[in-house]
């Protein structure tokens, strides 16, 4: 005798007991397909919604990422364009300085703008701030002012024939 499945209640043809009966296409196939379709409809509809929500979330994340990348690129471009000029200068010390002496440079730079690199005999010097005892020199002047001086920290001095290599990013006129 034929039976039904436990979960979806689909019709099951039993070949031994139903062998003499005519195969009922409506009952054995069409009703089963309708039951399957009905049960899966809600599941698939919810899946579509979930996939749609997922796509929306991913799209928003991609747009946020693109915005972030564009902003970073713009910031980088602004930074490069404002400091596109790069100049190198050399200064040979012609007499030994006192500890903590001011040194007049052959170039201008913007104080506090991180545009000046100073090398002594090939070794990069570290800029000090007012509380820093580890640095080698101070930038002389108010922040954002134009200067052509640095001050050596009080714990060392420049010797005769020392070579200062200076790198300045940007162009700075002392009339600004």
Does the pLDDT of residue 21 top 60, yes or no?
Answer: yes
If one counts every other C-beta atom within 10 angstroms of the C-beta of residue 131, the result is: 6
In Å, how far are 24, 67, 140 from 145, measured between CA atoms? 96, 34, 9
Reported pTM: 0.52
C-alpha 163/C-alpha 90 separation (Å) is: 7
Give 16's pLDDT tier (boundaries 50, 70, 90): confident
CB distance 14 to 2 below 8 Å: yes
Predicted confidence band of residue 96 (pLDDT cuts 50, 70, 90): very high
Residues 96, 157 contacting (CB under 8 angstroms): yes
Mean pLDDT confidence for 124-148: 88
Per-residue pLDDT at 82: 57
Question: CA 89 to CA 70: how far, in whole Å?
Answer: 35
* pLDDT tens by residue, 32-88: 888 888 887 777 766 666 667 777 888 888 998 988 888 888 877 776 665 568 899
Give the angle subtended at the CA of 20 by the CAs of 14 and 23, to the nearest 5°. 65
């Amino acid at each position: 005798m034929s039976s039904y499945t436990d979960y979806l209640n689909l019709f099951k043809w039993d070949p031994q007991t139903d062998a003499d009966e005519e195969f009922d296409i409506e009952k054995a196939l069409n009703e089963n397909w309708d039951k399957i379709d009905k049960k899966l409809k809600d599941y698939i509809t919810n899946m579509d919604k979930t996939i749609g929500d997922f796509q929306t979330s991913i799209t928003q994340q991609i747009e946020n990422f693109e915005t972030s990348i564009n902003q970073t690129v713009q910031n980088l471009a602004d930074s490069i364009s404002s400091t596109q000029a790069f100049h190198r200068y050399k200064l040979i010390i012609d007499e030994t300085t006192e500890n903590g002496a001011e040194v007049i440079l052959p170039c201008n730079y913007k104080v506090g703008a991180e545009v000046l690199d100073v090398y002594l005999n090939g070794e990069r010097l570290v800029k000090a701030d007012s509380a820093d005892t580890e640095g080698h020199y101070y930038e002389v002047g108010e922040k954002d002012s134009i200067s052509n001086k640095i001050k050596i920290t009080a714990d060392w001095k420049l010797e005769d024939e020392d070579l200062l290599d200076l790198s300045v990013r940007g162009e700075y006129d002392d009339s600004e």
